[in-house]
Chains A and B, each alone.
Chain A
Amino acid sequence: AQRVTQPEKLLSVFKGAPVELKCNYSYSGSPELFWYVQYSRQRLQLLLRHISRESIKGFTADLNKGETSFHLKKPFAQEEDSAMYYCALSGGYQKVTFGTGTKLQVIP
């Protein structure tokens, strides 16, 4: 079975502070990990995926297979980063499992 855990429902940080949104997963094979974001009044959309190894809007995420984690990080939070963030895992047969989401609130 595949499972994604996001331990924080809400994360509040001040503008300019570092951000780390935690994501842990459980999967017996080699998963593909993603972060999706939902800004207010917008659709859920892909932020980044681990195989791309890229930085999007200043966010990065590294897959740590030893710790089965895929935490999302940004060195300096901006107000426009306030949104709902979902970690997702794709295992076999393209099934995509999402975590419960973390609401990021950036305080001006």
Chain B
Amino acid sequence: DSGVTQTPKHLITATGQRVTLRCSPRSGDLSVYWYQQSLDQGLQFLIQYYNGEERAKGNILERFSAQQFPDLHSELNLSSLELGDSALYFCASSGWWGTGANVLTFGAGSRLTVL
């Protein structure tokens, strides 16, 4: 599958814990985006990386961090988890020029439940 791959699909953990969500972009895409989707909140932009460097930052909490590795996969780290962090976390990727730029291809999402 050459699309965007996210793991794990589902994750249940306890408050105070730390989790890592992983994303592999579509083949050839250099940009990776992370979004959080909570009930009634729509898609909240968290952060964007381009070829390993942070490109744009949204409403990402200090407890959250991310990085993009040389092989272009990205990880979103969520620490000191709170109940309110329960959400669907989407990763998306895009090309870097021409008609592919700014067009996002989404993964299936990682559903995080904090108990």
Whether chains A and B associate is yes
B89 at the interface (CB under 8 A from A): no
Within 8 A of A (CB), among B53-85: 55-56, 58
The answer to whether A95 and B45 touch across the interface, beta carbons within 8 angstroms, is yes
The interface centre, meaning the residue of A88, A95, A101 with most chain B CB atoms within 10 A of its CB, is A95
The answer to whether A95 and B55 touch across the interface, beta carbons within 8 angstroms, is yes
Q: How far is the CA of A45 from the CA of B4 in the complex (A)?
A: 12
Task: Report the interface size for chain B: residues with CB under 8 A from the other chain.
Answer: 25
Which chain B positions have C-beta within 8 A of A93?
Answer: 48, 55-56
Within 8 A of B (CB), among A69-108: 86, 88, 90, 93-101
A-B contact pairs, 22 of them (CB 8 A): A36-B104, A43-B109, A44-B90, A45-B105, A49-B103, A86-B42, A88-B104, A90-B102, A93-B56, A94-B50, A94-B101, A95-B55, A95-B56, A96-B33, A96-B48, A96-B92, A97-B45, A98-B43, A100-B40, A100-B41, A101-B42, A101-B43
B residues neighboring A (CB under 8 Å) = 31, 33, 35, 40-43, 45, 48, 50, 55-56, 58, 90, 92, 94, 101-109
Extra pairs beyond A44-B106, A94-B31, A96-B94 (13, CB < 8 Å): A9-B40, A34-B103, A44-B92, A86-B42, A86-B43, A94-B94, A94-B102, A95-B55, A96-B102, A97-B58, A98-B43, A100-B43, A101-B43
